Structure 1
Amino acid sequence: MKGVLLINLGSPDSTNPKDVKRYLDEFLMDERVIDKPYLLRAFIVKGIILNTRPKKSAAAYKKIWWDEGSPLIVLSERLKRKVDDLTHVPVALGMRYGNPSIKAGLQELADQGVDEVLIVPLYPQFAMSTTETVLVKAEEERKKHFPEMKFTNIPAFYNHPDYVRVLAASIKDELEGKEWDHLLFSYHGVPERHIRKSDITNSHCKIDGVCCQTNSPAHQYCYRHQCFETTKQVVELLGIDNSKYSTSFQSRLGRDPWIQPYTDATIESLAEKGIKNLAVVTPAFVSDCLETLEEIAMEGKEDFIAAGGEQFYAVPCLNDNDEWVKVLSRWVDEWAITETANA
């Protein structure tokens, strides 16, 4: 029997600093997030970050927390329910970090008799700290607890025509009737070394402004290329002039170089250049979360206004957008039909 597991990033169970600390420990100790040797990673995370960051992060979560709980979890559950209603196979939800866990999601499917699972990482672009760690964790749980299960996964869909279409439509609908001078595509940042580690050619990725536009097998796993390609295809579909959009990267951590340009610096620079009405979309996320609701919609807006801007529009993620639900449900059904035909 076939089933689907949607997997998102995850969230603390509450805004209590203890819960936030537990979540950050699991998240930051992932070797694909902070890719340092274990002892060094443990020193950085447990010896430094977890002694200072949980209270600050808890305060940030409190600013965006909903009555129903974490926005990311609530929105992911809404998406799961809608997809489940439209598809012909069971659908479960798991989080890479926190609850509900990937194991819990797989158990939910197993209890319904599912032995063939489509893993759907809810990340449009591939990165070792998102898609890769999800697939690795799911496989670990399969081997340990569900050895009879068979996995298939949806590849990165950053340039899939259906995804690009619904993303472009959601941006157009959100900005309808609003005056905006510039559209900023802000993606989650990753260290430059992650880009080079994901280069299957071991030579293409130079992060030099040219390699992302030069065709290469490396692009299959190049987060930077995939982000720029998403931007390119969306603005082409919307007919936005080159002077009216840009791409940047947010949420950097530590002192190592991360891919640029940085979102905070870009927002301030745009205001200083005379942009008065700025819209920001965050296509690395399918569901709104701390990085979109607090870092962009709150902190980004404050920075823009302080630098001389006037109007700031944070475009919501796709969340449980009905057109997005239809696309995701169609992908699921196409997989189920194809798998059955090939059986």
Structure 2
Amino acid sequence: MKMKTNKALVLLNMGGARSKDELKTFLTNMFNDRNILTIKCGFFRGLVASMIVKSRLNSAWKNYEEIGSETPLHKLTEKLVDKLNANLEGYKTYQVMRYTAPFASDVIKQMEEDGIDDITILPLYPQFSTTTTKSSLEDFELYSDDKFTTKIIKTFYKNEKFNNCIVNEIMSQTDTPKEYNLIFSAHGLPQKIVDAGDPYEKQMNEHVEILSNMLKEKGYEFNSVSLAYQSKVGPLKWLEPSLDDALVDFKDKNVIIYPLAFIVDNSETDFELDLEYREIAEEIGVGDYKVCKCVNDSDEFIEAIKDIIK
């Protein structure tokens, strides 16, 4: 049994839906986020958000029904928290989601009741973006109100132990890398957010280079290694190339997809990558199409977290 501690590790993530009602909550909170929908006036942002939610709710829920009517993110995150609580000495681990429960306000109350006064915040986004890391940190800080001594880890895409988790997952997919093309797939962003100074694209390119070099050092040279972006919505220009455009180049060729922007599997990995883009790949005539799992609650990632927060 672990000894009582005043220190906490707080994992931040977006959340996801476990019912249609919770999907409405998720979409409503997301599109009311000024980091996502960058309309300065809160009233107009709320108005546009309600219109988007109304138009997208039913179609988005059909996607969730394809993966069992709930995101895998919550159960996997609970497993990750349980493992950390069993294996991370000196800390109690909590999770906070941005758009669905458990919300920051409730978790902060629980931490106060538990006697926590010293926290390390680890947003589960390896690369920094205003739409993910900044948004989640702002939300947490709104409710924490300087109640804790706080250390924040803003990125960890350069951490070697974390990158070993990714490399090992990719290597597990094939013994013949020359017969495959490796595509790192990242969640897309509107180009205007990057143009405004968001470092996400730059860090994503750096991460791909780090992982490519690590794979080569282990003797894994793929036919090609590239980066593409998924999940584009709306008429704005987004980061390119999109994954569906990128797949066109691989007719009659084999591909392995690694979901580089995600730590825990979710609707974007289980539905978009494994079902939606698989259908696109089949229509194009792509040969073997493999999708890697995220690091999730693996023992290897537990060790990486220990190193990241050290």
Instruction: Flag whether TM exceeds 0.5 (same fold).
Output: yes
**Residues 1:141 and 1:182: Cα distance change in structure 2 (over 3 Å):** same
- The aligned residue for residue 157 of structure 1 is 156
How far residue 117 of structure 1 moved from its aligned partner, in angstroms, is 1.1
Q: Does 1:9 align with 2:11?
A: no
Give, as a single letter, the amino acid of the residue that structure 1 aligns with 2:194: I
Q: Does 1:82 align with 2:83?
A: yes
Give, as a single letter, the amino acid of the residue that structure 2 aligns with 1:152: K
Give, as a single letter, the amino acid of the residue that structure 2 aligns with 1:27: M
- The aligned residue for residue 304 of structure 1 is 281
CA RMSD of aligned residues (A): 1.9
Q: Conserved in 2, the CA contact under 8 Å of 1:8 and 1:76?
A: no
How far residue 241 of structure 1 moved from its aligned partner, in angstroms, is 4.4
3-state DSSP class of the match of 2:14? strand
Superposition map of 1:160-171 within 5 A: 160-171=159-170
Distance 2:32 2:230 in 1: 20
* Bigger mean CA deviation after superposition, 35-44 or 85-94: 35-44
- The aligned residue for residue 3 of structure 2 is none
Q: Does 1:20 align with 2:23?
A: yes
Gaps of 5+ in 2: 1-5
Distance 1:111 1:99 in 2: 19
Give, as a single letter, the amino acid of the residue that structure 1 aligns with 2:304: V
Distance 2:286 2:249 in 1: 10
3-state DSSP class of the match of 2:99? strand
Q: Does 1:59 align with 2:62?
A: yes
TM-score w.r.t. the length of structure 2 is: 0.91
**Residues 1:330 and 1:158: Cα distance change in structure 2 (over 3 Å):** closer
Give, as a single letter, the amino acid of the residue that structure 1 aligns with 2:111: L
Q: Does 1:105 align with 2:85?
A: no
Distance 2:242 2:99 in 1: 26
Deviations 1:80-107 (A, max 9, x none): 1111111121111110110111222223
Q: Does 1:313 align with 2:293?
A: no
How far residue 267 of structure 1 moved from its aligned partner, in angstroms, is 1.5
**Residues 1:192 and 1:177: Cα distance change in structure 2 (over 3 Å):** same
- The aligned residue for residue 257 of structure 1 is 237
How far residue 328 of structure 1 moved from its aligned partner, in angstroms, is 0.5
3-state DSSP class of the match of 1:286? coil
How far residue 245 of structure 1 moved from its aligned partner, in angstroms, is 1.3
How many residues end up aligned between the 2 structures? 300
- The aligned residue for residue 39 of structure 2 is 36
3-state DSSP class of the match of 1:35? coil
How far residue 242 of structure 1 moved from its aligned partner, in angstroms, is 7.3
3-state DSSP class of the match of 1:198? coil
Q: Conserved in 2, the CA contact under 8 Å of 1:82 and 1:320?
A: yes
- The aligned residue for residue 267 of structure 1 is 247
What percentage of aligned pairs have identical amino acids? 24
Q: Conserved in 1, the CA contact under 8 Å of 2:28 and 2:49?
A: yes
3-state DSSP class of the match of 2:173? helix
Q: Conserved in 1, the CA contact under 8 Å of 2:247 and 2:286?
A: no
2:211 aligned residue (225, 231, 234):
234
1:129 aligned residue (99, 123, 131):
131
TM-score w.r.t. the length of structure 1 is: 0.82
3-state DSSP class of the match of 2:201? helix
